[in-house]
Structure 1
């Protein structure tokens, strides 16, 4: 980054902080905030420590998506998601397994909870609950504000985990086409956006593993902003995609100064690796942005902890040539790098290498067929489905 660009970004950041401070002073002078919500993001952990992130925001009352929601309603819901009013410098109390701690929100309303565990967690549970409560009065007539956070802990018998990108890997985003990306993001909702064919069944099969009855944790890492968290969680639930922590990104001037897409995703993968050491991983992404470069770096930094890499081909020939070069370098380090056209390509490889149970291909093939028969987002927007 050039020095001139750094100077302009620092000026913009200071101006942004100044505006936030003025807004907070005005809010305090006029009687406080309106309804407040405690937003929790799925966390992760191990037998010794758990981690959870959340945010305190003005409640914009974004409703779950409906089958017949109009484009206008989808657009208004997206506006509410991005027009956030964060609540800085307030206390949040967290309780877990008889332990308690109090943390404060930062300038963007985010808070983080870390518990060094004093009790042994049982081996048979995948998810644990953390009880949260806002301790400060920030709105007139405010009632008690509580929320329950969820933390995923890998089983001792898990033989691998999965780290997956979201955009153009699980759901079509069109990240390399700005107009298409804008249409898919702003005019659709969790029910009208579609996964790539067969993805849900493939991820369910990976989660069950080679015996078909285990638990192999899945983590989703994306450069999408935290503002889309509720939409992405609902999307996964609607389409039967397995639950897992979603590691998204804060957006803002300060965040652009400290690193972009590559830096964010690599940091989140390192975060997962640290909390789940020594569990090895299957990495899944696409060729549209920097997943191949990021995953090559992970292979270098964590020798022996990457079993295979699946990259969906969504790019032009010029980009494909570079991906092929990365693939060869990764294979030279003893890690399978598979450049796939679709989900079934990846599933065939996974079955051959013992990552899936017998019969998984049939389930994935059926799921892919149904996904391909579903109306596209444009057909749903224009009311042409079933015609």
Structure 2
């Protein structure tokens, strides 16, 4: 197959929302790009991460999504993103082309594209940084060092969060990863998820950024809150579990969601990242508890209690 050299599909997810709705979303970059990294090469990892912030997105361009049931015409935004909900069913041999050309755009990810499961009894929506992997988000210098010089296979998985996911397997939940990490890191994060045998789920990341945008902090305000609202309203399951940590704003975001969807949020898990809880964290935790939604603020020593509670909750859902 001859692929276009004008652009590359960097990130692509197709989720069956219901019997007649499919969500297509992705990111397109300029030129012929690659997402692969040589396993175990720290220096190459640093080069690849840095290079991503000097790669241009394929912005404000029309593209075509070709499925067995028809063609969907859509357009990338200023960040190279596209998103469309369509009645046209996905196909396993899905192709994306430019609107004015027959050449197919190469899809470079080594991660599932199509997620066939419709709504379930339970969806788990989880943060990534310092929730499933140690990212040191509270310390900018340590975070940069970790990001650049630890390859995904050597990043530290947070075992207790993984055990929470495994404990819920009997209910057969879908899992969504929603993170403020930018799409530049999609390959790194999906490699980590696969290497650690975490559940495979749709990733929703902030836009692909240039170096200047990264330095200026040009991530969309309320991105994470709006992304989770979208998932709840478009893929409405009977119940949701939210998983996050106390290093940033997960507790405040989940408090807002608990107030908005009290009948849908079954449980909130917050990972404690430090030995001590500061005043801000304590206030956010108390505000979250005041919503009346069941929540756990956990350390590894709380494992037995939380896993026992999961067994009780599962019997209510199965």
TM-score (norm 1): 0.69
Q: CA deviation at 1:161?
A: 1.3
Query: C-alpha separation between the residues in 2 aligned to 1:155 and 1:62?
Result: 29
Q: CA deviation at 1:143?
A: 5.3
Partner of 1:229: 186
Show the 5 A alignment for 1:303-322.
303-315=262-274, 317=276, 319=278, 321-322=279-280
Gaps of 5+ in 1: 1-32, 120-126, 359-387
Q: CA deviation at 1:97?
A: 5.3
| Greater strand content | 2
Query: C-alpha separation between the residues in 1 aligned to 2:5 and 2:67?
Result: 29
Partner of 1:243: 200
Paired residue secondary structure (2:154): coil
Matched, 1:50 2:9: no
Say if 1:155 and 1:91 are closer, same or farther in 2 by CA, change over 3 A. closer
Partner of 1:362: none
Pairing partner for 1:144 from 91, 96, 104: 104
Q: Deviations over 1:313-371 (max 9, x none)?
A: 1146453x4434443444343311111013x635642432437879xxxxxxxxxxxxx
Query: C-alpha separation between the residues in 2 aligned to 1:36 and 1:347?
Result: 50
Say if 1:350 and 1:106 are closer, same or farther in 2 by CA, change over 3 A. same
In our comparison, the structure showing a higher alpha carbon Rg is 1
Q: Deviations over 1:187-241 (max 9, x none)?
A: 12211212113443432332x2xxx3x4201111110000001111111001101
Partner of 1:292: 251
Does the aligned pair in 2 maintain the 1:38–1:146 contact within 8 Å?
yes
Return 287-296 or 85-94, whichever deviates more: 85-94
Query: C-alpha separation between the residues in 1 aligned to 2:60 and 2:19?
Result: 31
Say if 1:258 and 1:352 are closer, same or farther in 2 by CA, change over 3 A. closer
Does the aligned pair in 2 maintain the 1:221–1:247 contact within 8 Å?
yes
Does the aligned pair in 1 maintain the 2:65–2:97 contact within 8 Å?
no
Partner of 1:196: 158
| Greater helix content | 1
Does the aligned pair in 1 maintain the 2:122–2:240 contact within 8 Å?
yes
Gaps of 5+ in 2: none
The root-mean-square deviation of aligned C-alpha atoms, in Å, is 3.1
Return 291-300 or 100-109, whichever deviates more: 100-109
> How many residues in Structure 1 have an aligned counterpart in Structure 2?
303
Say if 1:281 and 1:146 are closer, same or farther in 2 by CA, change over 3 A. same
Say if 1:155 and 1:143 are closer, same or farther in 2 by CA, change over 3 A. closer
Partner of 1:327: 285
Partner of 2:73: 102
